[in-house]
Structure 1
Amino acid sequence: MSTTRQQILILHLSEPDLESRTVAWALYDSTIPKGQLQMNTGDSNEPPYDSVLDAMRDGWNVMQLPTLPIFRTGFEHEQGHLPYEYVLERKVTIG
């Protein structure tokens, strides 16, 4: 009997353009049995996809676009969270 499960992929890009370079990522995969480790940033030197568009071409659906950051004068060089975060999902059939 086959079952459909969800995978969530979070890609942080260097710029807001969907074709810009992936700089950080995480994958949450419900097809992996409970207790096994999920892939996270740092598990590999290479991201699973070079860009959001590459992931879309492989069947991922964009669920969330980033809100573009507001850079205030005098604070352009402050560090914070990665601003260009895209959340993608896809359904996979197992079994």
Structure 2
Amino acid sequence: MSLRQQVLVLYLASSALDSPVVGWSRYDGTGESQPTTGDSDSPPYPDGVAALRDGWRLIQAAQLLPPHPGDEYGTSFLKHEFFFEQLS
């Protein structure tokens, strides 16, 4: 059987990989599960470092962009997004 990619997207409280997870999505290219989002009460990992310890490979980290003056306290998308992958 060929390898299939699984993707885990973690949204963290800050740009630090060891900050708490505030949202997540998971996509399973193996077909063993349906895509899931962060609707359950607890995230799959407490932080990004825990995902690394469990064998997920970090493939993209959040780009650090300073807020525009006056937008420091506005609400918007979750900007500290990290993409991880596993091959199964």
The TM-score normalised by the length of structure 1 is 0.85
1:50 corresponds, among 36, 46, 52, to 46
Report sequence identity in percent.
Answer: 33
Query: Equivalents in 2 of 1:46, 1:28: separation in Å?
Result: 17
Moved over 3 A (4+): none
For structure 2, the 5+ residue unaligned runs are: none
Map 1:57-72; keep pairs closer than 5 Å. 57-72=53-68
Q: Alpha carbon RMSD of aligned pairs, Å? A: 1.3
Map 1:24-39; keep pairs closer than 5 Å. 24-32=23-31, 37-39=34-36
The TM-score normalised by the length of structure 2 is 0.91
Counting matched residue pairs gives 88
Query: Equivalents in 2 of 1:7, 1:37: separation in Å?
Result: 11
Q: Give the equivalent residue in structure 2 for 1:82.
A: 78
For structure 1, the 5+ residue unaligned runs are: none
Larger radius of gyration: 1
